[in-house]
Structure 1
């Protein structure tokens, strides 16, 4: 799962998967990619190698339940959940934590500094974390 409007990072993943020849389906593309990506509803289109789900936490409770059911039955698929808002270690408040293996939380700080927090989750709990900081030029 990627949060905090991490367009650059999500684009890197999709571009690399496309270069590898993976068949990718995205709900929508909030950024441009170089490779071929199909647009459609992942919940209704099986058979892809990877999926991009956009803003899973901004959905109604009914839509979230449908998504969670789909995620549970597609644990063997590569799914990139892209959430525009920053979540970070507060993921423990959301039920989606049980469907996430890694959380990449991107945050732009003041004075051209970018912070990326990487969390590894197991059974909905953060078991490892690290922080990457990039200062502007």
Structure 2
């Protein structure tokens, strides 16, 4: 699949507000984003540990359940490597283009302060909207 995801928040955060110091996941680290589906994936938790030069300390600590804050950092690490994820982008308008049978999606790239940095347009034949925790459907 060729996909693009636009998110207004500047970066990925897994369960913000619930990263209580010392709290661990309820599942073992092997239930990461990819390992059970593809143990050779470059986005495994063990590969994350290796890229952070922490694989041996992690191994010798013998922790099967990792800290929630560490899982959040791992997920953010993966999100920075996926080219279809566009954080810091506000979707401004979506229009159907009947002539080309596609949607035109206008978006604004935001800087670190949430101010407009650049404008862009993406064309797509399929569209899914994530409305967040507070329902809001644009006109």
Question: TM-score w.r.t. structure 1 length?
Answer: 0.28
- Structure that is richer in helix per residue: 1
Bigger Rg over Cα: 2
TM-score after normalising by structure 2: 0.27
Higher strand residue share: 1
